[in-house]
A and B are shown apart, each in its own frame.
Chain A
Amino acid sequence: MDMRVNPKAKLKLVMVGNGMAGVRTLEELLKLAPDLYDITVFGAEPHPNYNRILLSPVLAGEQTLDEIVLNDWSWYTDNGVTLHAGCKVTEVDRVKRVVHGVGPAGEAVSAGYDRLIMATGSNPFMLPIPGKDLKGVLAYRDIADTQAMIEAATTYKHAVVIGGGLLGLEAANGLMKRGMSVSVVHVGPWLMERQLDEVSGKLLQGSLEERGMRFLMGAQTQELVGGEDGRVKSVKFKDGTEVTADLVVMAVGIRPNTALAESMRLHVNKGIVVSDTLQTVTDPRIYAVGECAAHRGIAYGLVAPLFEQGKVLATHLAEFGIGRYTGSLTSTKLKVTGIDLFSAGNFMGGDNTEEIVMSDPASGVYKKLVIQDDKLVGACLYGDTVDGSWYFKLLREGRKVSDIRDKLMFGESNIGDTGHQGHSKAAAMADTDEVCGCNGVTKGVICKAIKDKGLFTLEEVRKNTKASASCGSCTGLVEQILMFTAGGDYSATPKLKAMCGCTEHGHEAVREAIRTPLADGSRLLTTAQVFAHLGWKTPNGCASCRPATNYYLISTWPKEAKDDPQSRYINERSHANIQKDGTYSVIPRMWGGETTADELRRIADAVDKYNIPTVKVTGGQRIDLLGVKKEDLQAVWKDIGMPSGHAYAKALRTVKTCVGSEWCRMGTQDSTQMGKDLERAMWRMYAPHKVKFAVSGCPRNCAESGIKDVGIIGVDSGWEMYVGGNGGIKTEVAHFFAKLKTAEEVMEYTGAFMELYRTEGWYLERTVHYINRVGLDYVKKKILDDAEGRKALWERLQFALDGEPDPWFDFQEAAVDTRQFIPIQAVQATTEGSAA
């Protein structure tokens, strides 16, 4: 029994509103600080939190109400959250800090707060016309509206939907599916004019008309006429015409629900005005999140930005004091089965923009891409939305598109993706089709996880299913499945991606911080210093940010920053490749892929002596010894007596060569020598990811230089240099980079390019992705146009590599902890005692 007079009470957190954004905020908060608050939630609807986005599929009879509940009653009790469902808040006393409400039976309910979240969402806007209060006139916002519509559809025949926007069309489609005859009244020039341009709007109208929907475009509603029973009977327009209606749904827009906030005298302008930390500008104890909040003048109505807000708010409530919400880009998709449309950004274009348009009305396909200053700024797709998520990604990243402009219209699958050919239509895929080849995840598994667990973001799908969590090449496909399954308004991710959950900072910000000397002139040289300086949320990072940060330190400050083996993945800590059974593989370096009888004899002897079960020739012209026990690694390295091949590291791996002019009757250049020279100059070079070179002696290109990070091809007059190729998951053909005359030039240009990539690339970013991010033109400017800069880069790399140890032999210098190779033997019992 607690005998203290005044035990430290938990803080009281009250939330007004029980919708998606608010409850998501609580979920995030409970993850960060489960015991900080006593939480009370007031919800006007008599339901637990449900997925409002999926009301349209419910109306259309494709899902049931039970299926769209996100947090059932037990979630509230399990997490100790007091829920007053069906309880409308009438007053908030900001002086006494008490929330007053009226419960479902008319009883008074109140709760005091230390902190208050306003999550009141929005209200449907009702046209102020005569007859708006008649029976049979509804808005489309919540479960009650949906149920009323479903009920009306069983007894009545004629429905009129006022508003041809996203919500109106979804309502019209649902009612039509329930057997009603539906007319849509739309005052705008074409449907969904906020999301579609004229051409796609007309296409949409056509295909909905084919399904039996009728449209009254440009019609202005004057009055709703009631019958003797007090129920609506028709809709009358300004031009005098009249349409029969026994159900009228108004879907002309939503307004942030700010009535309560105004009565509390919080500052309201287009919503409850909040700062980047979601705090109201009026009262620091009060926050607002979701559709009711106005951030930098925008009240968002789509789910993803609201979840982002929730995440930021949770970190502040958890008293971490970090994280800012800086706004979101949004995209739209209509949840009408069988109709594909997608739009994002500035899809209308303007004076300073260019447009790429593909229009094939007969087959119902229309695509428009809007480009400004060499960047994609808007997209509007109709009929074929496969690449919607890819365009959205380009848009968000603000990536230069000049290099892919000619292929842009034809989608991501035309940019050299061999992984998913013929499999790029998420909607057309069967449930058993594999989406993520790395982790063997099928479409069915992803859909099920999205539905069962209520997932909304790519990150969540990754965590729960592992789909696209490894190589990421199926990210677009997973995003599409998310769009189709989670329903339309899926959209938007942060403009700036954090490195991992430990920090709000992105890779670039961390690199920049490491590069920049501190105020006292000193430098950040350890991961601990970086984490402290940038306010990491975790004491020592995680398995994702620590290796990245360690790499940034040693690549930025060679000879100064000390490599930390405990921040390295196991392969780079044990200098061998771990296998599924916990044994290791050993690949010694064979310069340019050449070996000798002596070396082969030593390898053969080691294989016998240490019972190495498998010997395999690699794709990089080397020999792989598989199944070496960790205890034997040091001895195997010593017996073989060849340098480390770094086949286990984010470093220079192989330099593949062809035979070249020394032997080959076709050879024009000595490619083997060039390869050996490059390899000797640049081995031991750590990089953001693995690096592979190849040198071919003639354009027949037997060394496959076209799919290497740096590929060199000998021609009569010298050498051609290619960069950014990749033979992995997603085959990428290297870009032609420069024509060079001498072997010295090849060395200097290659070294300079490598140093640029080493110091600017983000961890785990291959050269192809680095080049895509910064643009090939930028790399050319740095290496080709700037001779001084190029020489400086090459010198810097030589400085960094000078005297670097071989981790297979120079244990001390390479910071190899040799204790790891020897297991401890537990021997005798020394003390005897009983458990505490």
Chain B
Amino acid sequence: MSHNLWTFICRVEDIPVLGSRRVAREQGLDVAVFRNDQNAVFALLDRCPHKGGPLSQGIVFGTSVACPLHNWTIGLCTGQAAAPDEGCTPKFAVKVEDGQVFLDASELATQATDLVRPIAGPLRRVLSPLPLGEG
């Protein structure tokens, strides 16, 4: 049995109905917390398994969110992409108590801290130059 270190994040009503908020972490990408129309709260890494889009910016419906970049549908309970797409986003444990939302501090500190956002803009040219001919 794991030991959870629940950290207060916000109140349920701080998250829009059928919407989400981003939770910044000391290390790693944000965690997206979602709220559906039944006031259930879900937490996933804010990163689509497809091309790294920020899921917190997507449209929430049922128990799914549509990625804002290419419209993949990601299940909020599992982080799993809906068929026929394949892929999974790390999920985070959530506790809701007296209208307060908690995430697990140890998960926030350690889970999926190595994943990064795709790089865009001029930085992209610097960091990933076109492969040069080797002959």
Q: Which residues of A contact B (CB under 8 A)?
A: 453, 463-464, 538-543, 546-547, 565-570, 573-574, 578-583, 613-614, 626-627, 817, 819-820, 823-835
Q: Is B122 an interface residue (CB 8 A)?
A: yes
Within 8 A of A (CB), among B31-65: 31, 33, 37, 51-54, 57-62, 64
8 Å CB contact of B93 from A569, A579, A835? A835
How far apart are A828's CB and chain B's nearest CB, in angstroms? 7
CB-based nearest B residue for A574? B57
Q: How far is the CB of B33 from chain A (nearest CB, A)?
A: 8
Instruction: List, sorted by A's number, 12 A–B pairs whose CB atoms are closer than 8 Å.
Output: A540-B37, A540-B62, A542-B62, A543-B59, A547-B59, A579-B121, A581-B121, A583-B121, A614-B122, A626-B121, A831-B102, A835-B3
Q: For chain B, give the interface size range.
A: 35 or more
Within 77-127 of B, Cβ neighbours of A (below 8 Å) are at 84, 93, 102-103, 105, 108, 117-123
Q: A819-B14, A823-B22 are in contact. Are A833 and B4 (CB under 8 A)?
A: yes
Write out the residue numbers on chain B whose beta carbons fall within 8 Å of the beta carbon of A824: 9-10, 14, 21-24, 33
CB pair B117–A567 under 8 Å, yes or no, is no
**Are A580 and B61 closer than 8 Å at their CB atoms?**
no
**B14 contacts across to A, CB distance below 8 A:** 819, 824
Interface centre among A543, A546, A578 (most CB of B within 10 A): A543
- Contact indicator A538/B62 (Cβ below 8 Å): yes
Count of A-B contacts judged by CB separation below 8 Å = 140
Knowing A578-B68, A578-B69, say if A829 contacts B6 (CB, 8 Å): yes
Minimum CB–CB distance from B77 to chain A (whole Å) comes to 15
Residues of chain B contacted by A566 (CB below 8 angstroms): 16-19, 59-60
CA A834 to CA B53, docked complex, whole Å:
33
Supposing A570-B68, A824-B24 touch, asked if A581 and B57 sit within 8 A by C-beta, the answer is no
Known A581-B120, A830-B6; judge A543-B24 contact (CB<8 A): no
A498 CA to B24 CA, complexed, in Å = 40
Contacts of B17 in A (CB 8 A): 566
Query: Are the CB atoms of A581 and B118 closer together than 8 Å?
Result: yes
Whether a CB of chain A sits under 8 angstroms from the CB of B1 is yes
- Supposing A543-B66, A566-B19, A580-B51 touch, asked if A826 and B7 sit within 8 A by C-beta, the answer is yes
B118 and A823 form a contact (CB under 8 A): no
B108 near A826 with CB under 8 A, answer: yes
Known: A580-B69, A830-B6. A823 touches B23 (CB 8 A): yes
Per a CB cutoff under 8 Å, which of A580, A819, A831 touches B6? A831
Q: A578-B69, A613-B122, A824-B9 are in contact. Are A538 and B84 (CB under 8 A)?
A: no
Contact B6 A583 (CB under 8 A): no
**Please, how many angstroms separate the alpha-carbon atoms of A25 and B84 in the complex?**
19
Contact A829 B9 (CB under 8 A): no
Q: Which of B5, B21, B103, B117 touches A819 (beta carbons < 8 Å)? A: B21
For B2, the chain A residues whose CB sits under 8 A away are: 834-835
Bound complex: CA A565 to CA B1 (Å): 41
Q: Given A463-B84, A566-B59, A614-B122, A834 and B4 touching (CB < 8 A)? A: yes
What is the CA–CA distance of A227 and B22 in the complex, to the nearest angstrom? 84
Q: Which residues of B contact A823 (CB under 8 A)?
A: 21-24, 30
Complex Cα distance, B118 from A579, in Å, reads 10
Cα(A834)–Cα(B10), bound, Å? 20
Check B59–A826 contact: CB distance below 8 A.
no
Q: Are B6 and A613 in contact (CB under 8 A)?
A: no
Task: Kindly report which residue of chain A lies nearest to residue B119, judged by CB atoms.
Answer: A581
| CB atoms of B69 and A541 under 8 A apart | no
- When distances are taken between beta carbons in the complex, the residues of chain A under 8 Å from B120 are 579-581, 583, 627
Report how far A626 CA is from B64 CA in the complex, Å: 29
Q: Which residues of B contact A (CB under 8 A)?
A: 1-10, 14, 16-19, 21-25, 30-31, 33, 37, 51-54, 57-62, 64, 66, 68-69, 71, 73, 84, 93, 102-103, 105, 108, 117-123
A718 to B129, CA, bound (A): 53
Q: Are B117 and A581 in contact (CB under 8 A)?
A: yes
Q: Which of B1, B18, B118 has the most CB of A within 10 A?
A: B18
Which A residue's beta carbon lies closest to that of B93? A835
Q: Are A546 and B23 in contact (CB under 8 A)?
A: no
The answer to whether B66 touches A826 (Cβ under 8 A) is no
Q: Report A-chain residues with C-beta under 8 Å of the C-beta of B22.
A: 823-824
A582 touches B59 (CB 8 A): no
CA distance A569 to B60 in the complex (A): 10
Which residues of B are found within 8 Å of A582, using beta-carbon distances? Answer: 52-54, 57, 117
A825 to chain B, nearest CB (A): 6
Most buried by B among A453, A546, A824, A835: A824
B121 touches A627 (CB 8 A): yes
CB distance A826 to B1 under 8 Å? no
User: Closest approach, in angstroms, between the C-beta of B86 and any C-beta of chain A?
Assistant: 11
Task: Pick from A542, A830, A835: contact of B66, CB below 8 A.
Answer: A542
Is the pair B121, A614 in contact by a Cβ cutoff of 8 Å?
Answer: yes
Smallest Cβ-Cβ distance to B23: which chain A residue: A824
CB pair A538–B61 under 8 Å, yes or no, is yes
Are B7 and A828 in contact, CB atoms less than 8 angstroms apart? yes
Chain A proximity of B96: nearest CB distance (Å): 12
B4 touches A543 (CB 8 A): no
A829 contacts B61, C-beta separation under 8 Å? no
Q: Given contacts A540-B37, A566-B17, A824-B10, are A464 and B59 in contact (CB under 8 A)?
A: no
- Asked if A829 meets B5 with Cβ closer than 8 Å, knowing A542-B66, A580-B69, A581-B121, the reply is yes
Q: Given A578-B57, A580-B51, decide whether A829 and B117 contact each other with a Cβ distance below 8 A.
A: no
Taking the closest CB of chain A, its distance from the CB of B54, in whole angstroms, is: 4
Contact A827:B18 (CB < 8 A) given known A538-B62, A542-B66, A614-B122: no
> Do A542 and B61 have beta carbons less than 8 Å apart?
yes
10 further contact pairs, Cβ within 8 A, besides A543-B71, A582-B53: A539-B37, A542-B61, A570-B68, A578-B69, A579-B120, A823-B30, A824-B22, A826-B9, A830-B8, A830-B102
CB neighbours of B16 from chain A (8 A)? 565-566, 817, 819
Distance of A567 from chain B, by nearest CB (Å): 7
The residue in chain B whose Cβ has the minimal distance to the Cβ of A564 is B18
List B contacts of A832 (CB < 8 A): 4-6
Nearest CB of B to A576, in Å: 11
What CA separation (Å) do A464 and B33 show in the bound complex?
29
| B71 contact set on A, CB distance < 8 A | 543
Residues on B with beta carbons closer than 8 Å to the beta carbon of A827: 7-8
Question: How many Å lie between the Cα of A819 and that of B56 in the bound state?
Answer: 12
Which chain A positions have C-beta within 8 A of B69?
578, 580
Collect the chain A residues with CB atoms within 8 Å of residue B33's CB. Answer: 824
Complex CA gap A613/B119 in Å reads: 12
Per a CB cutoff under 8 Å, which of A463, A547, A580, A829 touches B118? A580
Q: Which residues of B contact A826 (CB under 8 A)?
A: 7, 9, 23-25, 31, 103, 105, 108
Q: Which 3 A-B pairs have the closest CB atoms?
A: A543-B66, A581-B120, A570-B68
Shortest distance from the beta carbon of A458 to any chain B beta carbon, whole Å? 15
Residues of A within 8 A of B66 (CB): 542-543
Complex alpha-carbon distance, A522 and B31, angstroms: 42
Q: Is the CB of A829 within 8 A of B59?
A: no
Residues of chain A lying within 8 A (CB to CB) of residue B119:
581
Identify the interface centre among A453, A542, A583, A829: most chain B CB within 10 Å of its CB.
Answer: A829
The smallest beta-carbon distance between B118 and chain A, in angstroms, is: 5
C-alpha gap A228/B95 in the complex (Å)? 85
Cα separation A666 to B24 with both chains bound (whole Å): 58
How far is B5's CA from A828's CA once the two chains are assembled, in angstroms?
Answer: 10
Q: CA of A830 to CA of B66 in the docked complex: distance in angstroms?
A: 32
- Closest Cβ of chain B to A571, distance in Å, is 8
Q: What is the chain B residue whose CB lies nearest that of A465?
A: B84
Task: Give A829 to B5 CA distance when docked, in angstroms.
Answer: 7
With CB as the reference atom, state the residue of chain A lying closest to B123: A613
Residues of A with C-beta under 8 A to B52: 580-582
Residue of B nearest to A821 (CB): B22
Residue in chain B with minimal CB distance to A626: B121
Give the residues in chain B near A578, CB-CB below 8 Å: 53-54, 57, 68-69
Query: From A539, which residue of chain B is reached at the shortest CB distance?
Result: B62
CB A635 to nearest CB in B, in angstroms, measures: 18
**B64 partner residues in chain A, CB cutoff 8 A:** 542
Q: Which residues of B contact A817 (CB under 8 A)?
A: 16, 19
